[in-house]
């Protein structure tokens, strides 16, 4: 069968070309494509971050696919619905398949749209091949695990979950040859070089309990072997010329010994790669950070979220303020480039807590600070709780409001604390102004050894501009 896999990562409210700020390769789709190609299907990948809508539509019309699949983000789900409608006008017989986070957690919402035929839930490599093979042979999907679909009687049918793949080493490497790798670049707030950019994921699943987090790969962590991870990394460096890379794992150092082994192999193979990752402070140590730095790690992102221990406990972060302070300080000392996230508006939050968090952010003084307003993301404990409180109306919800940090849409969806939506926006703007407009902050950037070259300075300036611009621009109504 002829199959197009699409990622729609720009919400309709975004006014500017998202790729100017940095985009990462859609390796999730490339994993699916790799499996489909081995099953003798013809596959292409379309990414709206590097293509215009007209280019995508023209390509679909010319390719004449049998199946078009969409990776669905919650904030862009309405855009996916629009694309499904457009494709059905091109050819009503094209099967529309939704997968990804939103489809995994809200499959019936996706199928409430008449243009969506099938939802693939969770890990999609084996499921999408079964779907394509069945459709090609004219066989019913009744026996395919991991799908929710509209059957021949027009009834939505849930076939139940498919077990996760236990041995991740058996999963084929992503079909990078289908991606325009020259078009991808890191967000300036996470980039430390001007090298060709890529991404990689070293494990699936997350065992942490954060109430605001959504996981489509389950609570049990499944690991790729260090050798398998570094084999893919070596391929990216030598075959595709990747010089900088982002590890996409929620916590790259969730198993410190395994993380160290990966680093040791990078060092042993003498791979010329700069990379960054997400880290949880309770897993960090001086020796691990030193090994990571030797292996090319030049940036880490740490989820701080709040300066209130009470709020951290209610979020189930399982970290302490002391661990945060020590972990951030250690990362700044050894790794150098450190970003921190902060979250406003969780249940139980208060203006006093937010003000305290703003001051804490300035005390930590990371390279970049991200101040976000909490959303009850589908699949999270928070979503289920707020839905039970009747604060989420599935039929009327503004999904575009479940936005990324730098969208032109104000990220207000559900008020979950005693802080009003209006006050949350004011506090977020205050946080960005107070953090980025400090003379001490600007001086701390320029005195660091790792930004002594002009292109490093320009990256920092671009990152700061990108963040501040979205705090002062006129908002859509």
Please check whether residue 179 lies inside any domain of the structure.
Answer: no
Q: How far is CA 85 from the centre of its chain?
A: 26
In this structure, what CATH number is given to the domain that contains residue 124?
3.40.50.280
For the chain, percent of residues with pLDDT exceeding 70:
88
286 and 384 inside one domain: yes
Query: Does a structural domain hold residue 33?
Result: yes
pLDDT of 14 = 46
My answer on whether 212 and 144 are in the same domain is no
The pLDDT of residue 371: 92
- Total domains, the chain: 2
Q: What residues contact residue 101 under an 8 Å CB cut-off, 6+ apart?
A: 72, 73, 74, 214, 216, 377, 378, 379
Provide the token pair at 52: 């215009």
Residues 116 and 189 in one domain: no
289 backbone φψ class: left, alpha, beta (φ>0; ψ -120 to 50): alpha
| Same domain membership, residue 242 and residue 138 | no
Contact 378, 408 (CB under 8 A): no
Say yes or no: 150 and 283 in one domain. Answer: no
Domain stop point among 158, 177, 203: 158
Burial grade of 472 (CB within 10 A; 0-12, 13-18, 19 or more):
exposed
The predicted structure's pLDDT at residue 19: 44
Question: Looking at the structure, do residues 367 and 222 belong to the same domain, yes or no?
Answer: yes
Residue 100 belongs to a domain:
yes
Paired tokens of 359: 């001051």
Mean pLDDT by 10 residues, the chain (477 residues): 91 45 87 97 94 92 97 93 95 97 97 97 97 97 97 94 96 96 83 88 94 92 98 97 95 97 98 97 96 97 97 97 97 95 96 98 94 92 90 82 60 80 90 89 65 54 60 51
* 477 located within any domain: no
Let me know if residue 124 belongs to a domain.
Answer: yes
- Smallest Cα–Cα separation from 384: which of 394, 370, 373, 371? 394
150 Cβ neighbours under 8 A, 6+ residues apart: 111, 117, 118, 156, 157
**The pLDDT value given to residue 16:** 46
CATH at 340: 3.80.30.20
Residues 6+ apart with CB under 8 A from 268: none
Query: What is d(CA 462, CA 454) in angstroms, rounded to the nearest whole number?
Result: 12
Q: Which two tokens stand for residue 17?
A: 């070309």
pLDDT tens for 267-321 read: 999 999 999 999 999 999 999 999 999 999 999 999 999 999 999 999 999 999 9
Q: Is residue 196 part of a domain?
A: yes
131 and 230 in a single domain? The answer is no
> What pairing do the DSSP bridges indicate for beta strands 147-150 and 118-120?
antiparallel
User: Are 257 and 380 members of one domain?
Assistant: yes
Q: Is 50 domain-assigned?
A: yes
* CA dist 141 → 68, 101, 145, 291, 356 (Å): 17, 22, 9, 49, 54
Q: Are 290 and 151 within one domain?
A: no
Pairing mode, if any, of strands 297-305 and 337-344?
parallel
Q: Are strands 203-204 and 222-223 parallel, antiparallel or unpaired?
A: antiparallel
pLDDT, residue 335, reads: 96
Q: Are 293 and 450 in contact (CB under 8 A)?
A: no
pLDDT for position 476: 46
Q: Is residue 432 part of a domain?
A: yes
Residues 445 and 328 in one domain: yes
Buried b (16+ CB within 10 A) or exposed e, 432-451: bebbbeeeebeeebeeeeeb
Is the domain of 222 the same as that of 145? no
Q: Are residues 120 and 240 in the same domain?
A: no
Name, in order, each residue with C-beta under 8 angstroms of 242's C-beta and a sequence gap of 6 or more: 181, 195, 196, 197, 198, 236, 273
Residues in a beta bridge with 68? 4, 96
pLDDT value for 467: 59
- The whole domain housing 132 covers 2-158
- Cβ proximity of 273 and 245 under 8 Å: yes
Question: What pLDDT score does 24 carry?
Answer: 86
| Nearest by Cα to 178 from 282, 63, 255 | 63
């Amino acid at each position: 069968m002829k199959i197009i896999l699409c990622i729609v990562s720009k919400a309709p409210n975004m006014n500017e070309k998202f790729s100017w700020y940095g985009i990462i390769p859609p390796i999730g789709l490339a994993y699916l494509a790799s499996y489909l190609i081995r099953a003798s299907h013809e596959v292409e990948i379309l990414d709206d971050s590097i293509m215009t809508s007209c280019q995508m539509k023209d390509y679909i019309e010319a390719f004449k696919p049998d199946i078009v699949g969409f990776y669905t983000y919650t904030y862009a789900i309405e855009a996916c619905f629009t694309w499904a409608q457009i494709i059905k006008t091109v050819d009503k017989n094209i099967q529309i398949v939704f997968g990804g986070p939103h489809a995994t957690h809200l499959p019936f919402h996706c199928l409430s749209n008449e243009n969506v035929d099938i939802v693939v839930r969770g890990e999609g490599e084996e499921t999408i091949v079964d779907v394509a093979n069945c459709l090609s042979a004219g066989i019913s999907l009744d026996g395919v695990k991991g799908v929710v679909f509209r059957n021949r009687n027009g009834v939505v049918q849930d076939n139940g979950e498919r077990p996760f793949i236990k041995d991740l080493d058996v999963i084929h490497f992503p079909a990078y040859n289908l991606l325009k790798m020259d078009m991808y670049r890191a967000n300036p707030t996470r980039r430390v070089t001007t090298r060709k950019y890529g991404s990689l994921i070293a494990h699936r699943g997350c065992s942490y309990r954060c109430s605001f987090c959504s996981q489509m790969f389950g609570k049990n962590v499944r690991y790729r072997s260090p050798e398998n991870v570094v084999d893919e990394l070596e391929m990216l460096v030598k075959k595709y010329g990747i010089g900088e890379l982002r590890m996409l794992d929620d916590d790259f150092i969730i198993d410190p010994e395994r993380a160290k082994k990966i680093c040791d192999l990078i060092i042993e193979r003498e791979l010329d790669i700069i990379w960054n990752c997400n880290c949880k402070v309770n897993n960090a140590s001086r020796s691990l950070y030193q090994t990571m730095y030797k292996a090319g790690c030049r940036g880490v992102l740490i989820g701080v979220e709040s300066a209130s221990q009470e709020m951290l406990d209610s979020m189930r972060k399982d970290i302490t303020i002391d661990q945060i302070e020590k972990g951030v300080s250690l990362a700044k000392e050894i790794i150098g480039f450190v970003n921190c996230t902060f979250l406003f508006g969780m249940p139980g939050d208060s203006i006093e807590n937010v003000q305290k968090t703003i001051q804490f952010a300035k005390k930590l003084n990371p390279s970049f600070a991200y101040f976000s307003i909490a959303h009850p993301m589908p699949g999270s404990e928070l979503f289920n709780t707020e839905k039970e409180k009747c604060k989420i109306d599935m039929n009327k919800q503004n999904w575009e409001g479940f936005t990324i940090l730098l969208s032109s849409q104000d990220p207000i969806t559900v008020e979950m604390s005693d802080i009003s939506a209006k006050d949350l926006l004011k506090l977020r703007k205050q946080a960005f102004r107070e953090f980025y407009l400090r003379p001490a902050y600007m001086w701390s950037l320029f005195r660091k050894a790792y930004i002594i070259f002009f292109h490093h300075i320009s990256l920092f300036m671009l990152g700061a501009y990108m963040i501040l611009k979205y705090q002062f621009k006129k908002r859509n109504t």
